[in-house]
C-alpha cells in the first residue's frame, strides 16, 4: 500500500489568496512530482524533484512554486490564486514505480 498523502483533499478559496498544497511520503523516494489534471484528461507535469534541494519545472508552465527541504515533503505553493488555477493537483513519488496521493481538488472562486 502506497504511503503518500496529500492535504487538503478539497479546497475552495477566493481569488488572490495564497495557498499551499501539502504532499508527504514515507517510502524514502528521492523523486517526487506534481501533476495538474482536469477531469478525465491527461496528467500535466508541472514540477518535479530529483531529491533534497532539487526542484525543476515540468512540461506545463505553472505559476506555482515548490520546495524540497526534506526527502519526505514536497509542498506546492500558489502566491495568488486565480480561477484559472481551478483543477485537480496530484502528487507522486517514485523509485522504479510511481505512487500517487489521492489528489487535491482546488476551486478558486
Partner 1 sequence: TQLLEQSPQFLSIQEGENLTVYCNSSSVFSSLQWYRQEPGEGPVLLVTVVTGGEVKKLKRLTFQFGDARKDSSLHITAAQPGDTGLYLCAGVNRNAGNMLTFGGGTRLMVKP
Which string of x and - marks every residue 88-107 that binds partner 1 (by CB under 8 A)? x-x-x-x-xxxxxxxx-x--
Single out the residue of 17, 27, 39, 81 in contact with partner 1 (rule: CB under 8 A).
Answer: 39
CA distances from 50 to 30, 45, 81 (A): 6, 14, 27
Q: Report d(CA 5, CA 99) in Å as an integer.
A: 10
68-19-62-100 Cα dihedral, nearest 10 degrees: 60
Burial (CB < 10 A; 0-12, 13-18, 19+), residue 61, is: exposed
Q: Which of 17, 18, 27, 50 binds partner 1 (CB under 8 A)?
A: 50
Question: Is 1 an interacting residue with respect to partner 1 (CB under 8 A)?
Answer: no
Q: Which residue number, 14 or 97, has a Cβ lying nearer to partner 1? A: 97
Using rule CB under 8 A, residue 71 touches partner 1: no
The nearer residue to partner 1, 15 or 52, going by C-beta atoms, is 52
How far is residue 40's CA from residue 49's CA, in Å, rounded to a whole number? Answer: 25
Which residues bind to partner 1, rule: CB under 8 A? 31, 33, 35, 39-43, 45, 48, 50, 59, 88, 90, 92, 94, 96-103, 105
Amino acid at each position: 500500500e502506497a504511503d503518500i498523502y496529500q492535504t487538503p483533499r478539497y479546497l475552495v478559496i477566493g481569488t488572490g489568496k495564497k495557498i499551499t498544497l501539502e504532499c508527504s511520503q514515507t517510502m524514502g523516494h528521492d523523486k517526487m512530482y506534481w501533476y495538474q489534471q482536469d477531469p478525465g484528461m491527461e496528467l500535466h507535469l508541472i514540477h518535479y524533484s530529483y531529491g533534497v534541494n532539487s526542484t525543476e519545472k515540468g512540461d506545463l508552465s505553472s505559476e506555482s512554486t515548490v520546495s524540497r527541504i526534506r526527502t519526505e515533503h514536497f509542498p506546492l505553493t500558489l502566491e495568488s490564486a486565480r480561477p484559472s488555477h481551478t483543477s485537480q493537483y496530484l502528487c507522486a513519488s517514485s523509485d522504479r514505480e510511481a505512487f500517487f496521493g489521492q489528489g487535491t481538488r482546488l476551486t478558486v472562486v
